[in-house]
Structure 1
Amino acid sequence: MPLGIVIRKVPGVTRWVSHIWKAVAVLPGAGEASWKELRRDGDTIEYHSATVPLELFRTDTEAYLQGLSAKVPSIYVVMRESGSGHPLEFVLATASPYEAQDYADTGEELVEKVPMPEGLIAWVRDYVEQHHEDEVFVKRKRKNARVDLKEDGIGDARIRQAADVYRAPSTKETVH
């Protein structure tokens, strides 16, 4: 589904930051746009900055369920600072909080959490209901190998041991 990204530009509060860019809304089914001004209120300007595809995958339905069960279901907009004429470049929009976390962990991209509109919540929920399959937990079993026969990690074979390596050292022994 094409998803329009609405970015708000507000004046900065320090002399080092002249303005702040923040993703504030998404427009489901939006047409193409390139930094089209939507609204202006004094120094605050909102732009329909870009339209990116929102893709859902069958393997990520557990993540979508997690996102839908949040207090405020959200779309995560992943963007980075741009070196071209526009201030931001949009990487993707996702409904998966797990994928958003992966991008946030790198520290190279900006990840903004934007509330999902009601229609988009219903669309994602319908997709999850159609494709989600609960995974049955299967406990792995050990093979029949005997792991207790070999004592790995007990002492160093290159150093002569007078007795049990677990014993407390005595003051009578000398070290060579």
Structure 2
Amino acid sequence: MRDETGGAGERSATMRVGVVLERRRIDHPWQKWRWRAVSVIAHAPPIRQPRLLLSDGTADMALWHTVTLPLLVHRTDTEAYKYNLSTAQPQVYVVLRPGNDEAFPLWPALVTVSPSEAQAYSETSEDRVEPVPMPEPIIAWLKAFVDRHHVDRPIVKRRRKGLDRGPGEASEFEIVEGGSSDAGRVGE
């Protein structure tokens, strides 16, 4: 795992992030609880098992620090991070997967700050991606990483050589001497 600073020579950087899930009782015929990601904790310590952070005293609502995961950023993805930071409310995306434990039917599998990576995970049928507000310490850390590593690259439209040009314009097509557009007509 990389250090949490991600110096100028680093290709990536990592921060430990705790994921907080909310369990709330709902009035539904097929399920008792609604689980959702509500926040993340920057620089969270590793934990061995889920830790209760808050309960309303009636067991109708509880907040759990379920797991601490690495938030990994790469210098090749700074365009996506820059976009996220430019929004009114930057987000951390929590990827939830079905859990193996009846007590926690959903389990955080990954955290990312890349909207494009979150979109890719949301296209699978098993993963559920939930955005949560990005805390200030993560905003500052991510902004410093983007400032160190982002390079604006112009958008270049690619064209297959010769295939988008007509005959006589250096394409793969050639005009054949003696050829005619009427060649091959029946009855001549």
Report the TM range for the smaller structure's normalisation: 0.7 to 0.9
Root-mean-square deviation (CA), in Å? 2.1
Normalized against structure 2, the TM-score is what? 0.74
SS at match of 2:28: coil
Uncovered stretches (5+) of structure 2, i.e. residues with no partner: 1-14, 163-169, 176-184
Per-residue deviation, 1:102: 0.3
Note the 1:75-114 alignment, pairs <5 A: 75-84=92-101, 86-114=104-132
* Contact in 1 for aligned 2:23/2:36 (Cα 8 Å): yes
One-letter amino acid of the counterpart of residue 81, structure 2: Y
Q: Which residue of 2 aligns with 1:136?
A: 154
Per-residue deviation, 1:71: 1.6
Q: Which residue of 1 aligns with 2:145?
A: 127
Query: Alpha carbons of 1:108 and 1:146: their partners in 2 closer, same or farther (altered >3 Å)?
Result: same
Q: Does 1:6 find its partner at 2:32?
A: no
State the identity as a percent: 39
Per-residue deviation, 1:162: 7.1
Query: Aligned partners of 2:87, 2:186: CA distance in 1, in Å?
Result: 62
Note the 1:1-176 alignment, pairs <5 A: 1-33=15-47, 34-41=49-56, 42=58, 43-84=60-101, 86-141=104-159, 142-143=161-162, 144-147=170-173
SS at match of 2:94: strand
Query: Aligned partners of 2:50, 2:174: CA distance in 1, in Å?
Result: 66
Query: Aligned partners of 2:26, 2:173: CA distance in 1, in Å?
Result: 63
Query: Aligned partners of 1:135, 1:29: CA distance in 2, in Å?
Result: 32
Aligned length in residues: 153
SS at match of 1:138: coil
Uncovered stretches (5+) of structure 1, i.e. residues with no partner: 150-160, 164-176
* Contact in 1 for aligned 2:19/2:69 (Cα 8 Å): yes
